[in-house]
Every structure is written in structure tokens, then in C-alpha cells.
Structure 1
């Protein structure tokens, strides 16, 4: 029988630049998830610092990443829970990297991913992983791949990960309703929510995978007044979005029977086609230099 995993999506509200406060709050949610026997807890992108690159206090905080990464590793081991601590901004010489880590329940780092597809306002500040291949890696929950926020818009990233065997794709995100242009907002003020709701479920179907999407949330009682998209969820084929949240900070816990992914592949045979000899899109995954 396929295993059933309990997954906690933690839709955190981040106080800009308040790393210690945000870390303590994230830790509290993770402890609550572990108390409910969760196998995995996932946090949003930028959950420690927020995204305020023009603030003079921002860059110095990106040099403190090791303290918090070590803290999450210790917490994972203490609580016997796997953790993806959203993304952590890291200053390396003159570059800032936006990195997601998968930490096992023993406290070991099993995989990491540096954001590749940068959103336009990020490009003056962050360094992309560019041509580094997307990689899947082994975890206690099976083969996992990770993407970050705007990577969601590129189906090629998903295809590369599932070609490498990923069954679960985890996507920490910092995505708001105001990320749309003025012209787009005139067409539909909720267009970014529509983008997310349409794309997340499509990606899980077209790749016979589970998508764990964890976005930032707004402060409790105030989320509806801001531009928080929220919508953190676990998306699976056949069922769509599980445990979907609104725009407010909080945590949603979802049980997923992994058999649903095997049933989806038996039905759609996407992975089978990708592995077949002479597959007609082969060039897009294994481009020759």
C-alpha cells in the first residue's frame, strides 16, 4: 500500500526585517504541526525578512542566514519532522541568493534549490541559478523537487523535475494580488488569485504529481483589507486543491494518500510518455550544447 503523509502548510505573515520575531512564530507553528504528527511542514518565501530590498537594514540581515538554517535543522531533529523553511535569503560576497532547503526529520539537509525564474522587481537584487538543472532528490516522503514562486509560471521546470522522478513538488511563495499591472487589475482585480487557482491544479494534473504551494498571508483580522492572495494548498490529481486557505495567516493540515499519484499516472501515463524512446519533446529536457 502507498503511504499516507500528513502535510502542514503554514501561511505566515512576515514582519519586515524582524528575523527573530518571524523565526519564533514559524517555530511555534512547526511545533504545533509536529504535535499533530505531521510528516512535513512548509513555510512561505521570504518568511524571515520579508521583501524590502531598498531598506538599508535588509542586506545585513541576509548575512545572518546560517543561524536560522541551523536553527531549523535542530528543530527538525528535535521534533522528528521534515521542514522546508520557505526560502532563506543568503548574502554571498556581492550576490544575494534566494534558497529553499529540504531538511529531513533527522536534521540533515537533503536538497536545496536557488530560485531560477526571478520576478521582474527581484532582478536588480537577486542572482538566479540560471542554467543549473532542476534536480529531484530522495527524502523520507519519496522523490521531491522544489521551485520558488514565479517558477510556477514555467511548465518546463515541472517537466524537468518529474523527468528526474519527483512525485512531490514544493513551492514556497510570496505572491500578492497587487503583483499584477495596473492594466491587468482594471481587467480583473482578482487576476493573480485566478492565475494561482488555475495554474496550481493544472500543474498537478499535467505532471501526475503533488504540488505543495505555500504563500505568505496577511495579519489575522486584517488580511482581507490588504493585497494578500494566500491560497496555500496541497494540489493533487483527481481531487484538485486540498486544505486551501484564504488570505489570512494560519496553518492548514492535509492528509494525502500517495496512491492517488500512482492512479493518476496509470490514467494519464505522462511519465511513461516522457520516458519513451524517441519522445517528441525530448530536446526540451536534454538539450545538447
Structure 2
């Protein structure tokens, strides 16, 4: 019988450069989700400081990020819940260019250990002067208490290849922290459709589930609708979103029936095709046998 996992996605209006407020807010929501039996809680991208890389304080706070990761590890162990603390901005230690940072997602197990991490690969063009891509490093899935999962970050959603690598490596759930706003569309694009970014997310998340016979756990920043999208959701193939928010602050918890993922694969046989030796597209053959 397929397993069922209770998962929470959390969203709020992230206060720029108010790292203590944001961390306290995150911990409060995680604690509430754990009290409702959640096995995993996922936060948005840039959840500690927001996205203000031109402010000198942003770089200072990035240098202090390690202690907040440690705090989440302690909280995960205390509450016995897995946590993906959105993304954490980290100073590059391998470069003499102090203005470039890594944007990293971590998977913390329910015993407080870090099981894996992922650095954002596909950098949104306004971020490129400030962030460093993980480049040619492959997308790798990890074994967790809720099964084999992969992690992507925000603009990675636009690239089916990222999902394909994770699925080829056995991921059944893809976790995606984001900081996606209506203003990611240009004025020209919004003139055609002011809700284009919401349409992008709704269409893409569901499509990725069907294309890859996987679940997607999507956590985005929330706030007033003119500046934020929210739409945090948990989505599965065959059925679409099983839980979804608007722009309100808070969290949702859903029971994710992995039998739906199995039924989708039985129906579409996407993973089966990906494992063929004569697979005709250029994706890495790193799938588990």
C-alpha cells in the first residue's frame, strides 16, 4: 500500500532585512504545523531577509545565515518534523568577489540532521549580478523520511530539464521554495495579462506534475496582491492542487497520498520511458535501477 505524508507549506509577507521577525514568524508557523501532525514544513525563498541585494545589510545578514540554519535543525529535532527552510543566502567562501552569493535550500530531517542541499541553478535575470549559479552540477534527489525528494528554487520551475534530472534520479516529490511576484512580468507583458505570473505558476506546476508523475510542494511569499502572488500549494498528477492558498498569510496542511503518484506513473509510464537505454533525448541516465 502506498504511503501518505502530511505536508505543510507556509507563506507570509516577508519583511525586508528584518531577519529576527521573519525567523520568529517561520518558527511559529512550523510549530503550529507540527502540532497538526505535519511531517514536513516548507518555507519560501529569501524568507529571512527578502530580496534586497543592493542594501549593504543584506550582505551582512548573509554572513550570519549559518546560525539560523542551526536554529532550524534544533527546531526540527525538538518538534520531530522535517523542514525545508526556504532558501538561505550564503556568502561564497571560494571567491574573492564578495558581492556574489549562493541561494541554497536545505532539507533538514526530523532528527535535526541536514540530509541534502541544493544551490539555485537557473538564476532569474535581475538576480544575476548578485547570485552565483550551481552551474553544471547535476540535480540530485535525496532519501528522506517522506521518501525520495528533489529540491528546486523559483525560476528553476521554468526548465523541464531540471525536473527530468530529478525524476531520473528517483524523486517522487519536488520541493520548490520561491519568491515569485506579479512584477516578475514586465509592464509590456502585464499589459497583455495583468495576471500572467499567476497563470504561469498555475499552468507550470500542474504540468510538471503530469509530465514527471511527481508531486510538487510549492511555497511562495505572500502579502498584498499588487506586490505578492502567494499561491503556495501542494499539487499532484491526475488531481491537480490538493491544497492551495491565495495571498493570505499562514499555512496549509495536506495529506499527500503517494498512491496518486504511483497511479500516474502506471498510467503514463514516464519514468519507465526515461530508463530506456535508447532514450532519445539528451538527459543524464542517472536513474536508480
Give TM-score scaled by structure 1 length: 0.95
Q: Report the secondary structure of 2:67's partner residue.
A: helix
Residues 12 and 43, structure 1, Cα contact 8 Å, conserved in 2:
no
Paired residue for 1:232?
232
Paired residue for 1:285?
284
1:161 has 2:166 as partner: yes
Residues 44 and 85, structure 1, Cα contact 8 Å, conserved in 2:
yes
1:213 has 2:212 as partner: no
Paired residue for 2:120?
115
Paired residue for 2:32?
32
d(CA) in 2 for partners of 1:57 and 1:107? 29
Residues 206 and 240, structure 2, Cα contact 8 Å, conserved in 1:
yes
Deviation per CA, 1:193-241, whole angstroms, max 9, x where unpaired? 00000000000011000000110001xxxx23x2211111011011101
d(CA) in 2 for partners of 1:63 and 1:160? 31
Q: Report the secondary structure of 2:241's partner residue.
A: strand
Residues 275 and 285, structure 2, Cα contact 8 Å, conserved in 1:
no
Q: How many residue pairs end up in the alignment?
A: 281
Paired residue for 1:177?
182
Q: Deviation of residue 242 (structure 1)?
A: 1.7
Residues 16 and 51, structure 1, Cα contact 8 Å, conserved in 2:
yes
Paired residue for 1:98?
103
1:1-289 matches, within 5 Å, as: 1-93=1-93, 94=98, 95-218=100-223, 223-224=224-225, 226-281=226-281, 283-285=282-284
Q: Report the secondary structure of 1:213's partner residue.
A: strand
Unaligned runs of 5+ in 2: none
Q: Deviation of residue 58 (structure 1)?
A: 1.0
d(CA) in 2 for partners of 1:279 and 1:90? 38
d(CA) in 2 for partners of 1:286 and 1:42? 29
Residues 176 and 227, structure 1, Cα contact 8 Å, conserved in 2:
yes
Residues 228 and 248, structure 1, Cα contact 8 Å, conserved in 2:
no
d(CA) in 2 for partners of 1:162 and 1:286? 11
d(CA) in 2 for partners of 1:254 and 1:205? 19
d(CA) in 1 for partners of 2:103 and 2:15? 18
Residues 234 and 243, structure 2, Cα contact 8 Å, conserved in 1:
yes
Q: Report the secondary structure of 2:283's partner residue.
A: helix
Q: Deviation of residue 17 (structure 1)?
A: 0.5
Deviation per CA, 1:88-131, whole angstroms, max 9, x where unpaired? 00012433100000000000000100000000110000010010
Deviation per CA, 1:125-165, whole angstroms, max 9, x where unpaired? 00100101000010001111000000000000000000000
d(CA) in 2 for partners of 1:252 and 1:132? 33
Q: Deviation of residue 286 (structure 1)?
A: 5.1
Deviation per CA, 1:169-200, whole angstroms, max 9, x where unpaired? 00000000111011101000000000000000
Residues 9 and 232, structure 1, Cα contact 8 Å, conserved in 2:
yes
